[in-house]
Amino acid sequence: MKILVTGAAGFIGSHTSERLQELGHEVIGIDNFSSYYDISLKKLNEKSLLAKDITVQSLDLRTANLAEVLPKDISYIMHFAAHPGISNTSTFEDYFSNNILATQRLLEFAEKLPKPPFFVNIATSSIYGLEATFPETVAPKPASWYGVTKLAAEQLVLAKSREGKLKGTSLRLFSVYGPRERPDKLYTRLIDCGLNSKKFPLFEGSEKHLRSFTYVQDIVDGIVSVIGKETICDGEIFNLGTETETTTAHGIAIMEDILQKKIDTEQKPPRAGDQSRTKANIDKARKLLNYNPQTTLKEGLEAQTAWFKDNLL
């Protein structure tokens, strides 16, 4: 099948693109190479994809004429492209245009195709709010611009399904880590600080935060499991992540054990909208998608550390 992957040069999008190709699909990768973080890191991901004959076209969903530049015989859209995370330097307009407007334009393109593709929206546990421990049936209470706009994007996709204009699903991902993780995320920062003798910025109270830290390949397992299950997944939301909870403090301790050195910390004020607890309730995904993440946090962090040493030192 021909599968369009938006945000293909990003962290999870690049891993998913590789897996899709391994499964025998033709990947059409696009990315706007946003300056949200160092573009050279996305270029590094792109280089890895090119080595496997996966090309990534530079394209902005918000402004490009999608009908002119994208193929019309797409079977699936995997929509990763978004303005991510919680950032004091990002405006509401950044989140709105990248997460809502871009999704709407992509949906308009998809529904006008001769045979509309199945639309897989990549969402986030931030939709649930300050605590994300619930099944998909619980009403969301997002507490950040990121969570609010990702919820809106999710509902745009599900609205098209309810209208019968195209089939689609939304996958809420929980605390993904692993090789190629963004530089602003916890474990990339910890590895960088540990290996380069920098002080790690520890937000006040965050050492007690609980997270369902989920290895990226376990997340990709869940994403690709949707393929072939269009009838089951249409109009549905699925949580993807591990059920194991880990505090930030314990995560730091695991990293120190892997690096065999103490990581110095620097106290920072708490971040508004930062989640205090996430624990993926995956009963639905386990039942309908046969989803069962297996990678331990230490195993995943050892792989991430090895990648960092090979590519960023």
Residue type, 102: A
Closest to 68 (Cα-Cα) out of 80, 59, 55: 59
Q: How many angstroms separate the CA atoms of 59 and 34, rounded?
A: 10
Residue with tokens 């509309």: 116
Residue with tokens 């946090």: 297
Cβ neighbours of 286 (radius 10 Å): 16
On whether the CB atoms of residues 285 and 220 are closer than 8 A, the answer is no
Beta strands in the chain (DSSP E): 2-6, 26-31, 56-58, 76-79, 118-124, 131-132, 168-173, 176-177, 200-203, 210-211, 214-215, 237-240, 246-247, 265-268, 277-278
**Which residue of the set 36, 37, 76, 146 is catalytic?**
146
The string over 1-24, giving b where at least 16 C-beta atoms fall within 10 Å of a residue's C-beta and e elsewhere, is bebbbbbbbbbbbbbbbbbbbeee
Q: How many angstroms separate the CA atoms of 176 and 217, rounded?
A: 9
DSSP code string of 115-126: SPPEEEEEEEGG
Closest to 67 (Cα-Cα) out of 117, 120, 112, 7: 112
Q: Which residues make Cβ contacts (< 8 Å) with residue 156, sequence separation at least 6?
A: 100, 103, 104, 107
37 annotated active-site:
no
Active site residues: 146
